[in-house]
Amino acid sequence: MTPLNILVASLLLIVPSGVVRSADVTRIIGGQFAAPGQFPHQVSLQLNGRHHCGGSLISDSMIVTAAHCTKGQNPAQMRAVVGTSDLSSGTGQTHNIAQFIIHPQYNAQTQDFDMSLIRLSTPVSMGGSVQSIELAPADANYAADTLATISGFGAINDNLQLPNRLKFAQVQLWSRDYCNAQNIPGVTDRMICAGHPSGQVSACQGDSGGPLTVDGKLFGVVSWGFGCGAKGRPAMYTYVGALRSWIKQNANV
């Protein structure tokens, strides 16, 4: 089990079996390119000038991402880019980061409590292609096979070619009847499963920390998985509802 660091596998993706390794080549293959302004909450977290992880804007000064995206990193070396679906277009806003707030119970071995808040040095200018996303409530739950949306930036081939354009895809939520520690080792109550039982649609490496949304609300955060598109192996997302009170306490959202 290792964190994911770029998003979206689909029918077009053939991958080796086994656990995803963070040093592997990362890619977004399949899905669709997003239209400008389609995901106004989407954040590109950039480390030393390169896309590093995804995130979601939840207020004018706070971002939700995965803890493994910020653990061991220096806020001074990371920037947050908001308000663009094309990182090469010169549009959007770039903001310095004042603080990482990593969940105190985050476990880097198990990826439990894989959530971090990022406080920006200056508020973003809200409006148009920059909007915060509403958080799913603490008791949010959905029936199995409910469609959710994942989105992110990332490389598309073994040469690490970056399209710089935002992609998205739809995945199915998995029931707790299957998404539990008995069937999937490592799953906890802070995690939700999404993908396709056949493995044809699932999150893949990269864009960790990016959003999984249902009904326009942030329901999950891209966390970890077993390979890309492996049959019977969904991708794992940190469950926002389970950590809702911690977000409220630390972000006042």
Cβ(147)–Cβ(116) below 8 Å:
no
The full DSSP string for 123-135 is: ----BTTB---EE
**What CA–CA distances, in Å, run from 100 to 79, 91, 107, 117?**
12, 25, 16, 6
Catalytic pick among 116, 132, 151, 208: 208
Catalytic pick among 41, 68, 103, 196: 68
Annotated active-site residue 114? The verdict is yes
Annotated active-site residue 86? The verdict is no
Catalytic pick among 114, 132, 196, 207: 114
Structure tokens at 97: 């980061």
Annotated active-site residue 112? The verdict is no
To 5 degrees, how large is the angle CA 65–CA 83–CA 124?
75
Catalytic residues: 68, 114, 208
